[in-house]
Amino acid sequence: MRGFLKGFSGTLGSVLVTLFGLTVVTFLIGRVMPVDPVIAAVGDNAPQSVVEQTRIAMGLDKPLPVQFADYLWQLLHGNLGMSILTKNPVTHDIAHYFPATFELATYALILSMLIGVPLGVWAAVRQGSVTDQVIRIVCFAGHSIPVFLLALISLIVFYKALGIAPGPGRQGIIYDGMVPVQTGLLTIDSLLAGDTGAFWDAVAHLTQPVCILAYFSMAYVARMTRAFMIDALKGEFVITARAKGLPLRSVIWSHAFPTVAVQLVTVLALTYAGLLEGAVVTETVFAWPGLGQYLTTALLNADMNPVVGATLLIGVIYVGLNLLADLLYRLLDPRVR
């Protein structure tokens, strides 16, 4: 236990250093961008006196070290500034938009895990066979084809040509604003409200973007699972189990897979972080009102506070999921402890 705490404390220390570096990077993003945040706030035609007053009010007339100290102080108090476009605090906007991204990424992770892990195990067991080759080709295509291209093809085929899928957006017009917001997750909120029509409408709108993201992630999960399982199946404990005449299913899932499951914790954690961060393109194509679309709109309009705030949140999520994966890895694998 002492060794576990010592190792975890070292990891926690590196995480704190990483978070500090992240704050430095996000601070510099807001200062080195070619767009003057003061001009973006007051407009190009504002009088010079208004520009200077606004610069002083925003604290941009101070030396950079002082500005950074003020930035840290505001972060510690949960203040990410105001959005020029929405006129709301950035924290309020993130709390509004992030649940949509969270819902999209979570369902995509579940789907990619349910499909990718069995496919990876199946490919490893049948290494070198036609089945293995087909699975590898499918996974290679998932990594090679751009996400935006798959999303556009999906909309053209299933929405425009066949008419069997709803259009872009998170919900149909008939249900827009009808479900009381409790968790921010539309499928959960509609069930809590007892509105099955809104629930199935939300599921229908989720299907295409979730499948696109899940396919991309499934390709990575399946490839890593296959690689881990090939090594596990070469282990002496697996050879011994086969020599004892145990059924192949028992050898795979009771002896080989548990050793792989520990390694998959890190893979799934990084996949989840990538889904939360990488949904920007998918949200843009499907007009999904999530953090990615919020960030894209802010970038196109030179609204830097939301850009910095969203970037900081994504970085914190990455670091947090890495910390969680490390903790689970140490708990599940006695060799690490």
pLDDT of 22 above 80: no
Look at residue 86 and tell me if it is in a domain: no
Does residue 110 have a pLDDT over 90? yes
Same domain, 166 and 105: yes
Average pLDDT over residues 202-224: 92
CB distance 67 to 56 below 8 Å: no
**pLDDT given at position 108:** 93
> Quick one: 72 and 101 in the same domain?
no
- Confidence band, pLDDT 50/70/90 cuts, at residue 204: very high
pLDDT of 4 over the 70 cut: no
pLDDT at 33: 66
Assign 314 a pLDDT band (cuts: 50, 70, 90).
confident
Q: Classify residue 87: in a domain, yes or no.
A: no
Flag the least confident range among 5-19, 223-237, 290-304: 5-19
Tell me phi and psi for residue 32, to 5 degrees. -100, -10
* 256 within domain boundaries: yes
Mark out the alpha helices in the chain (DSSP H runs): 2-32, 37-42, 48-57, 64-76, 90-125, 130-144, 147-154, 186-192, 196-233, 236-243, 248-250, 257-278, 280-285, 291-300, 304-332
The residue among 29, 45, 76 that closes a domain is 76
Please check whether residue 81 lies inside any domain of the structure.
no
Is the sign of the CA dihedral 134, 137, 138, 139 positive or negative? positive
Least confident window among 34-48, 109-123, 138-152: 34-48
Same structural domain for residues 170 and 268? Answer: yes
Instruction: Return d(Cα 84, Cα 38) in angstroms, integer.
Output: 10
Q: What percent of the chain has pLDDT over 90?
A: 23
Which 3 state secondary structure label does DSSP give 205?
A: helix
Give the whole-angstrom CA distance, residue 335 versus residue 266: 16
In a domain, 2, yes or no: no
Same domain, 160 and 26: no
CATH of the domain at 282: 1.10.3720.10
Distance of CA 144 to the CA centre of its chain: 19
Q: Residue 333: what pLDDT?
A: 63
pLDDT on residue 260:
84
Whether residues 34 and 177 fall in one domain: no
Whether 240 and 161 map to the same domain: the answer is yes
For residue 5, is pLDDT > 70?
no
Q: Quick check: is 4 in a domain?
A: no
Same domain flag for 119 and 255: yes
SS3 126: coil
149/33 same-domain check: no
Encode burial over 263-272: b for 16+ CB neighbours within 10 A, e otherwise: bbbbbbbbbb
Give yes or no: residues 100 and 67 share one domain. Answer: no
pLDDT band of 32, cuts 50, 70, 90: low
pLDDT higher than 60, residue 337 = no
How many domains does the chain fold into?
2
For residue 319, is pLDDT > 70?
yes
Both structure tokens of 161:
């040509």
Average pLDDT over residues 318-332: 78
Q: How many CA atoms lie within 13 A of 87 on its CB side?
A: 1
Written as six digits, the tokens of 236 are 């002496």
Indicate the burial class of 262 (C-beta count within 10 angstroms; 0-12, 13-18, 19 or more).
middle
Task: Taking residues 121-136, report their average pLDDT.
Answer: 91
Using pLDDT thresholds of 50, 70 and 90, give the confidence band for residue 188. Answer: very high
Exposed (0-12), middle (13-18) or buried (19+): which is 115, by Cβ within 10 Å? middle
Per-residue pLDDT band at 303 (split at 50, 70, 90): confident
For all residues of the chain together, what is the average pLDDT? 83
User: Which pLDDT does position 117 carry in this prediction?
Assistant: 93
One domain, residues 142 and 281: yes
Q: What is the DSSP string of 294-334?
A: HHHHHHHTT-HHHHHHHHHHHHHHHHHHHHHHHHHHHHH-T
pLDDT for 199 = 93
Q: What is the residue range of 161's domain?
A: 94-332
Q: What is the mean pLDDT of residues 134-154?
A: 88
Give the pLDDT mean for 88-117.
92
Q: Which residues contact 10 (CB under 8 A, 6 or more apart)?
A: none
285 and 319 part of one domain = yes
DSSP state of 238: H
Tokens of 199: 């629930």
Q: Report which listed range, 41-50, 160-169, 196-205, 247-256, is most confident.
A: 196-205
Residue 158 lies in a domain: yes
Residue 183 falls in which region: left (phi positive, over 0), alpha (psi -120 to 50) or beta:
alpha
* Residue 84 resides in a domain: no
pLDDT > 60? residue 142: yes
Band of pLDDT at residue 147, cut at 50, 70 and 90: confident
- Confidence grade of residue 146 (pLDDT, cut at 50, 70, 90): confident
Judgement on whether residues 69 and 110 belong to the same structural domain of the protein? no
- CA-to-CA separations, 121 to 128, 226, 271, in angstroms, rounded: 13, 6, 18
